[in-house]
């Protein structure tokens, strides 16, 4: 949406008209009933009611709850009040958001192998115990029939469950 908005501003549209002109292009790209198109329609409606663009843009940022949209709204408000170069500011904001998304995708791609490896490693001990139990049932009999063996296996299970929890926390670092 910001890229389309930036292109309309570069073509000489006013900021209000650029927001309105963005609706058909964005509808063609991502669908008529998408979240962004609906928000742009709300902004268009607010502009038709002669409300300043800052109000619906701030409301959009509040409703979305996304930091990028909130930051864009704040930057837009400051630039419009101070008379800054809106076209350059929007292009810069667009490139920052694009870079952020690119880095996020790269991190997810690089960590995908580690997440898959973690899932496999979580299941291997259970597979080993199942295999040894079925191929040689007497191998674990001492661990399951005596009190000390049950204590050792319970402690080992708790340690293993903690290791699974810890590995999931490490892999699920928010980006």
Report helix angle 2-10 to 15-30, nearest 10.
Answer: 130
Q: Would you say residue 60 lies in a domain?
A: yes
Q: Would you say residue 134 lies in a domain?
A: yes
Whether residue 42 contacts residue 60, with contact meaning beta carbons closer than 8 Å, is answered with yes
Give me the pLDDT at residue 163, please.
92
Q: Would you say residue 54 lies in a domain?
A: yes
Domain count, the chain: 2
Residues 3 and 60 in one domain: yes
For the cut 80, the answer to whether the pLDDT of residue 122 exceeds it is yes
Please identify, among 13, 48, 65, the residue that sits at the C-terminal boundary of a domain.
65
Which among 67-81, 130-144, 156-170 has the top mean pLDDT? Answer: 156-170
Residue 7, domain extent:
1-65
Q: Would you say residue 91 lies in a domain?
A: no
For the cut 70, the answer to whether the pLDDT of residue 175 exceeds it is no
Average pLDDT over residues 147-157: 90
Q: Would you say residue 45 lies in a domain?
A: yes
Average pLDDT over residues 64-89: 81
Q: Would you say residue 30 lies in a domain?
A: yes
pTM greater than 0.75 (yes/no): no
For the cut 80, the answer to whether the pLDDT of residue 140 exceeds it is no
Q: Which of 27, 16, 83 is nearest to 52 (CA)?
A: 16
Please identify, among 49, 65, 81, the residue that sits at the C-terminal boundary of a domain.
65
Q: Would you say residue 19 lies in a domain?
A: yes
For the cut 90, the answer to whether the pLDDT of residue 135 exceeds it is no
């Amino acid at each position: 949406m910001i890229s389309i908005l930036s292109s309309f501003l570069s073509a000489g549209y006013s900021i209000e008209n650029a927001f309105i002109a963005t609706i058909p292009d964005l509808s063609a790209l991502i669908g008529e009933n998408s979240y962004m198109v609906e928000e742009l329609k709300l902004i268009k409606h607010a502009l038709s009611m002669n409300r300043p663009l800052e109000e619906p843009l701030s409301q959009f940022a509040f409703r979305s709850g996304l930091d990028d949209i909130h930051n864009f709204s704040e930057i837009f408000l400051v630039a419009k009040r101070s008379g800054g170069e809106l076209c350059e500011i929007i292009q810069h904001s667009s490139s920052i958001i694009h870079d952020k998304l690119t880095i996020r995708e790269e991190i997810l791609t690089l960590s995908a192998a580690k997440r898959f490896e973690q899932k496999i490693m979580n299941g291997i001990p259970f597979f080993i115990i199942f295999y040894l139990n079925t191929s040689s049932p007497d191998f674990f009999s001492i661990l399951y029939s005596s009190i000390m063996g049950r204590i050792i296996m319970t402690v080992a299970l708790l340690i293993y469950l903690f290791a699974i929890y810890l590995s999931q926390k490490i892999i699920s670092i928010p980006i």
